[in-house]
Amino acid sequence: MGASEWDYYVPYQEDLGGALEELRRKVFEAGDYYWVNGAGWRPEEDREPRPQTLEELWEDELVQETGTHSILDVFRILGPDDTRDYGTVEPVTAEEARTLLGTDKPTRAHVKDFDIFPRSRWVGRCAVLHDDQSQPQEIYFWGHSGD
């Protein structure tokens, strides 16, 4: 199947980890992810219902191998001293935004240029987006995952 790109906008909150958890919960509850055990490539009689919890989803070995092609494939926000790793989300720093975009307060209009930020498969990125008065408005999450 290959990896899939994904992105999401959520209202701003200071706690990026809390925003990630809330988004993951909403995506899971909406069923807005690839469910390998319910996929059309499987015969109808072999398809399984979607799991009831995120824990149940990730207990499945096929899901561990193929992912969900969504924000569900990342689990935690990296801190300033953490190393990028599988299943993490790396926030765009003010310095990184200033160097690559020319501003430390990116807006939604800058998102089209976000492909300049370094990224890796199975590692998400996030950036706080600002309004015209430089006030935080949204958090933008993006990445690509899945096999």
Instruction: Give start and end residues of each alpha helix (H) in the chain.
Output: 16-30, 54-59, 61-66, 94-101
- Of how many residues is the chain composed? 147
- Residue 47: pLDDT band by 50, 70, 90 thresholds? confident
- Residue 3: pLDDT band by 50, 70, 90 thresholds? confident
CA count, 13 A, side-chain hemisphere, 11? 1
Q: Strand pairing partners for 125? A: 90, 142
CA 42 to chain centre: 27
pTM for the model: 0.93
Q: Residues 52-110: pLDDT tens digits?
A: 999 999 999 999 999 999 999 999 999 999 998 999 999 999 999 999 999 999 999 99
Mean pLDDT, all residues of the chain: 94
- Residue 116: pLDDT band by 50, 70, 90 thresholds? very high
**Whole-angstrom distance, CA of residue 1 vs CA of residue 90:** 25
